[in-house]
Structure 1
Amino acid sequence: MLRAKMSIATLGGTLSMQRTTPGAGITPVLGGEALLASTPALKELADVHVESLSLLPSASMDFDFLLTVLSWAKRQVAQGAQGVVITQGTDTLEETATFFEYLWDLDQPLVLTGAMRGADQPGADGRANVLDACRVALSEDSAKRGVLVVMNAEIHQALTVRKTHSLALQAFASPNVGPAGMIIEHRVHFSRPAAARKTVPWPVRTTQKVALLEAVLSADTTLVEQLVPLGYEGLVIAGFGAGHVSEQWSTVLEPIAAQMPIIVSTRCGAGSTASDTYGFKGGEIDLINKGLHMGGCLCPRKARILLWLLIGSDSAHELSRFV
């Protein structure tokens, strides 16, 4: 019987970090081969191909780099990988997962994972997370589910997962829908069936700029007014409550919405924007009438990635399909 094939890419992050100097902070030093050597159980699961694509803290990655990683992942599937796992830092894990989800048009699973504790710390969680991610990537039930995030024995969907704690092991959650599944006694269990997905065409350019601004009490409009002169092509607002801004912002945003797409998401961390509840100036009805788009359950960070990809693929006119 042929053994399953899978590929792992390591990008850096806490999972790859340890101290190289006593008393100093941890930094990325461990590549793919070190991960494979420290986790012999991986070889029991499948024939594993591992590559170290970078040693970066995840905050230093950019969209161009992620496109190269995604191209690598697609090549692995073309060469026979049943699933692909990517390890990276958790600081931007939810954003990377979203970026990949909108572009991953294959049935094979792409699974992301990381660690909350450095490789040389007591109770380091990296190897267990990698093993769980590989189990998910190899599971037949993972097919057609797109991009998944596996952390702390939980399986999350890319568009719903968020990092909700800065340091705790249980740092990741899906506030609106909960985990899509769990790993129990090394076996993969999904709690709901795979759902239909929407992908975006591959971007034809990557120079577009999309701003993310947060609505806060008594905020001035200076930054908003400078977006068009500064060359921005899109805007996402982390709005109050169910997708609201101040009356002053509403006035300034109306002419800008005629020049670039604007998404208003909620800054609350859970819940959805409204569409026909609040009628005051700056409420969602007012903003929709002025040409702005409500983000629904999509958090502001994920909405920015969606808008960047749509603009870059000349598909901004299809924004209403996604929010």
Structure 2
Amino acid sequence: MADYKEGDMVRVSSKGREYSGIVMPSRSDKIVLKMKSGYNAGLSLDGADVTVVERSPQPPKPARKAHPHNPGLPNISILSTGGTIASRVDYRTGAVSSQFTADDILDAIPELGDMANFNGRVLSMIFSEDMDASVWQNLARACHEEIKNGADGIIVTHGTDTLSYTAAALSFMVRSPVPIVLVGAQRSSDRPSSDNAMNMICATAVSTSDIAGVTVVMHGETSDDFCYVHRGTKVRKLHTSMRTAFQSVNVPPIARVDYATRKITPITGYVKRGEQELKLMGDMETKCALVKFYPGMSPEIIDYYREKSFKGLVLEGTGLGHVSTKWLPAIEKAVSAGITIVMTSQCINGRICDRVYSTGIDLLKAGAIEGEDMLPEVALVKLMWALGQTNDMAQVKRIMQHDYAGEIHWRSTV
């Protein structure tokens, strides 16, 4: 077996076939090659023979540009967690490099230097699917600390796949008098269609604006004209790869940001800079789960979570918030055991109303809580947060049915 490393050109002989390509990073026990076709191949090393054809050249490190502090500009803190916006693939070597420091970002997007002074902190460098409550809590503490130390705004760079979960978590954990803006990219900076520069410029414009609290800033249309500013508790990724994947659900966006002029045009009302005092409420209960109901699904799943001593469940029911009538005894038993159960809907738009049909009425009698017009993932994060504040079930119910961060709108307009 050859001693190879990322970026080397190798030839792999396995099961009578040969594969040639550049060694890519791998998170498994397989070797991953980028082949001439442009596609990646993951190959088992069991019984394989690897020959190094060409060693990866070591490119010289580029000279670091100076980014002097401008006392006339606002001070923005960039908190990096990883994701596509902070990565670049070098197709010559096959290696992935992360551009996450403030200087890296300014080098890549020099226009930012005319908008603000930046201070960068790397909190994690993980795929967004590896996010969990501990990362959210660390991020919330970092936001609180940066604002206490005088930051005029916060930008959080994040992978897009679970960005909306983190936005919701920060919305509940940090009451902020300044903007906290989450931003990502659907396509890495090495691609001609990358959205990272435009998203970052628009996010910076929002971070220096009067829009306080937690928002998500992403592409507003397929062309490079504007970004939308979404409320952190009302946004979802609705497409796997399009640059316009993020959309506000059940409400319009807060504002739009013109890319060319950086002008922000409000669409709906919002909390303004300085209108609320800084407060950190970072405790979360991790023994909560989100359960999506489907026809014929066994109620044993509820029994499983009860037996595992979970504290809260969010059910993603059908329509107005329904599950099979066969689930009613299991739900009632779980509630009696001290588990808070919140009902949400699989429908994208609309709200829960369990007082229309008999099934819904029976669910309320069993102890389920209506999740109003909250997205299921937002309801899950909020329930984790609510149970982190109190273990009193009556108080948790009051929290879940109270609007804390724009997650509940009492009048559906969309």
Alignment correspondent of 1:296: 372
Hey, which of these two has a bigger chunk of strand by percent? 2
Task: Name the CA distance, whole Å, in 1 between partners of 2:96 and 2:351.
Answer: 38
Task: Name the CA distance, whole Å, in 2 between partners of 1:16 and 1:86.
Answer: 11
CA displacement at 1:175 relative to structure 2: 2.5
Task: Name the CA distance, whole Å, in 1 between partners of 2:299 and 2:96.
Answer: 39
Taking the TM superposition and a 5 Å limit, the aligned residue runs for 1:145-184 are 146-152=213-219, 153-184=227-258
Q: Is contact 1:215–1:238 with CA below 8 Å preserved after alignment?
A: yes
Larger deviation, residues 188-197 vs 7-16: 188-197
Alignment correspondent of 2:400: 322
Alignment correspondent of 1:119: 189
| Higher alpha-carbon Rg | 2
Alignment correspondent of 1:69: 139
Taking the TM superposition and a 5 Å limit, the aligned residue runs for 1:115-264 are 115-140=185-210, 142-143=211-212, 146-152=213-219, 153-184=227-258, 185-194=261-270, 202-204=281-283, 206=284, 208-258=286-336, 259-264=338-343
Taking the TM superposition and a 5 Å limit, the aligned residue runs for 1:24-63 are 29-32=98-101, 33-63=103-133
Q: Is contact 1:17–1:118 with CA below 8 Å preserved after alignment?
A: yes
Task: Name the CA distance, whole Å, in 2 between partners of 1:189 and 1:138.
Answer: 14
Query: Match of 1:173, SS?
Result: strand
Task: Name the CA distance, whole Å, in 2 between partners of 1:65 and 1:110.
Answer: 16
Query: Match of 1:268, SS?
Result: coil
Larger deviation, residues 302-311 vs 92-101: 302-311
Query: Match of 1:112, SS?
Result: strand
Task: Name the CA distance, whole Å, in 1 between partners of 2:196 and 2:345.
Answer: 32
Taking the TM superposition and a 5 Å limit, the aligned residue runs for 1:11-26 are 11-20=81-90
Distance change (3 Å), C-alpha of 1:230 and 1:9: same
Structure 1 position 266 matched with structure 2 position 345: yes
Task: Name the CA distance, whole Å, in 2 between partners of 1:190 and 1:178.
Answer: 10
Taking the TM superposition and a 5 Å limit, the aligned residue runs for 1:275-286 are 275-279=354-358, 283-286=359-362
RMSD (Å) for aligned C-alpha atoms = 2.2
Task: Name the CA distance, whole Å, in 2 between partners of 1:203 and 1:82.
Answer: 21
Query: Match of 2:289, SS?
Result: strand
Task: Name the CA distance, whole Å, in 1 between partners of 2:72 and 2:185.
Answer: 31
Task: Name the CA distance, whole Å, in 1 between partners of 2:241 and 2:400.
Answer: 32
Please, what TM-score do these two structures have when normalized by structure 1?
0.91
Alignment correspondent of 2:158: 88
User: Over residues 226-264 of structure 1, what are the superposed CA-to-partner deviations in whole Å (9 max), with x where a residue is unaligned?
Assistant: 111112111110001110000111222111112210001
Q: Is contact 2:174–2:282 with CA below 8 Å preserved after alignment?
A: no
Structure 2 portions without partners, runs of 5+? 1-70, 220-226, 402-414
Q: Is contact 1:243–1:273 with CA below 8 Å preserved after alignment?
A: yes
Please, what TM-score do these two structures have when normalized by structure 2?
0.72
Distance change (3 Å), C-alpha of 1:100 and 1:154: same
Q: Is contact 2:77–2:120 with CA below 8 Å preserved after alignment?
A: yes
Task: Name the CA distance, whole Å, in 1 between partners of 2:97 and 2:354.
Answer: 45
CA displacement at 1:28 relative to structure 2: 6.2
Structure 1 portions without partners, runs of 5+? none
Task: Name the CA distance, whole Å, in 1 between partners of 2:90 and 2:183.
Answer: 24
CA displacement at 1:178 relative to structure 2: 2.0
Query: Match of 2:125, SS?
Result: strand
Query: Match of 1:76, SS?
Result: helix
Which amino acid is the alignment partner of residue 215 of structure 1? F
Query: Match of 1:19, SS?
Result: strand
**Which of residues 163, 172, 188 is equivalent to 1:102?**
172
Hey, which of these two has a bigger chunk of helix by percent? 1
Q: With CA pairs under 8 Å and 6+ residues apart, which has the higher RCO, 1 or 2?
A: 1
Task: Name the CA distance, whole Å, in 2 between partners of 1:182 and 1:55.
Answer: 29
Q: Is contact 1:150–1:156 with CA below 8 Å preserved after alignment?
A: yes
